[in-house]
Chain A
């Protein structure tokens, strides 16, 4: 078992004909992901290394039964691409696009909520999602992943996600699903969405949660952990030494006033019963202890 994506996931890539879309779309297919279609207006009827390209997502869904979309298009076109996928009935959309204006992102989130409640968006500006051995949508380096569980990972940062996968894999600890929710201010999928899915997934026995400074999603996640989670959680928050008022790379990673600090988030997680690490290596070590005691 896994969350959000599995061997049955059929992916349409919006942006497959672009250089990045082609690189990652083919890479995902090489891993064994069912990449069934690409979409590019005006290029319907062509193909990219055997993957049929359609003019619209709707056409792609009709012809291939695609049930997930990988949106890899430039920022000005991203919101419309996600809405197109949702309107075509795609239930799970992964949007890796970086640099989407915050106003577009806020409108997109609320438009999905209002008009397409059946669609879950992951991202934007996220590294993607991998269920090791079954399905990889996005940038995650598959060499770092190990199938079979028992650990689920949810993270706001790309490289720290890979780091976590790598360290767990090096210790022989497998993963059920690893979700990168992205570092933007209005993520489509939150920590809580993932924690809740991991809680109900029978194969996931423990969860690693990697947060960052900025916003209050980690604090809300801590409340959820305290109230709803029976499975152990190991947490790590990046940016413990970040100065206030400066964006640390991600648009969402900023300490403003007294809110969004790493300390507040770490304290909230600790109070919720999670084990909190000071760095990624320690997080993996703590998870090894948790897994050993399962």
Chain B
């Protein structure tokens, strides 16, 4: 789960990381009250999960209450690259002397934590990595051992931060590492990390990605989740315990297993079509799951045909086929369904499907033939 900036800052604060005093606001009046509380000059920042909000006019400095009112009115409801601003974050403006970069993430290739610190902050770090890779100090950390204070100071020195920032930045790195590990982040990034004109070090932005697998030990994440922007169908799928990702094509996809689902998208593409979604129903395929999945897929008006791609493993072909037939009977699906059932006892399964074969349910023996049929139907109904 990606946090909004204000959520990231609130999360940082729990680990003692210095952030600006601020308040979230959903209305102009709330924004004004927040600014009165934090003091002027204040910054009004659009809370959207997309880069480039400053350029789009989503971050404004306000010297007084009138300006807060003007900016909050303009920013709330603004569309930034397709993201509607529903909330702003009001914080006390910071007098910036220098801008840096700091982050912790997991380096999958090295199987270690990776710290990155740079004196070049406030800009896209991937661009820095490309243009001037030596400007980024990197350190691999053994997750069993953790980050020591000496290592943190060494990182700060290697990155070439202002000596005035040395102690503050080293402390912040230790706190940020704790946030990353104990806070179960996939990514904890501060860009910019700033040195203020009165020589204090401080996180001016927060980019935090939480590891959903760790949610069981973080009940406090519920409040973040309630604010997540999710497409209606993704929400519907999540409530039903399904892995669904909406895409732009016209062939709805239902497969068992993430790998097979990805492979199904590929095959649909290879025969000239485009998938409307990724949907993994997991290992088995009982009637409840199939019915729920079909409802989610069919609620997408772009879907013109549905391709069910199932490999019967431990759940046998005849059980899968029974589940599909029962599931279909429970919901009224508009788009024709093409199904490919393979694997354990696939023949028994296909025999069951054959009894229900119609224009609305077409069976094909292989993945490629089924994909071709589904794409042909989608095109004919477009």
Contact = CB atoms under 8 A, between A and B. Distances in A.
Interface residues of B, number: 51
Interface stretch (B18-26, B57-65, B90-98, B105-113): B105-113
B258 A183 contact: yes
A141 B314 CA distance: 5
Interface in A47-75: 75
Contacts of A161: 259
A162 B256 CA distance: 11
Contacts of B366: 281
Contact of A111 (B144, B280, B311): B144
Nearest to A125: B213
Interface string B200-219: 00000000000101101100
Contacts of A251: 213
A250 B263 CA distance: 13
Contacts of A107: 143-144
A279 B263 contact: yes
Given A158-B257, A183-B258, A213-B262, A141 B344 contact: yes
Interface in B321-348: 342-345
Contact of B367 (A75, A216, A279): A279
Nearest to B211: A102
A70 B259 CA distance: 23
Nearest to B313: A141
B112 A166 contact: no
B368 interface: yes
A37 B338 CA distance: 45
B259 A210 contact: yes
Interface in B45-79: none
Given A160-B259, A253-B258, A281-B366, A106 B109 contact: no
Given A106-B113, A186-B106, A141 B213 contact: no
A111 B144 CA distance: 6
Interface stretch (B6-14, B267-275, B288-296): B267-275
B269 A216 contact: no
Nearest to B346: A166
Interface string B215-234: 01100000000000000000
Given A27-B314, A215-B109, A241 B275 contact: yes
Contacts of B106: 102, 106, 185-186
14 contacts: A76-B217, A102-B184, A106-B112, A139-B283, A141-B344, A212-B258, A213-B262, A220-B109, A241-B265, A242-B278, A249-B280, A278-B266, A280-B263, A280-B367
Interface of B: 106, 108-109, 111-113, 126, 142-144, 181, 184, 186, 211, 213-214, 216-217, 243, 245, 247, 255-263, 265-270, 275, 278, 280, 283, 311-314, 342-345, 366-368
Interface of A: 27, 75-76, 99-104, 106-107, 109-111, 114, 139-141, 143-144, 155-163, 166, 183, 185-186, 210, 212-213, 215-217, 220, 238-243, 246, 248-253, 257, 262, 278-281
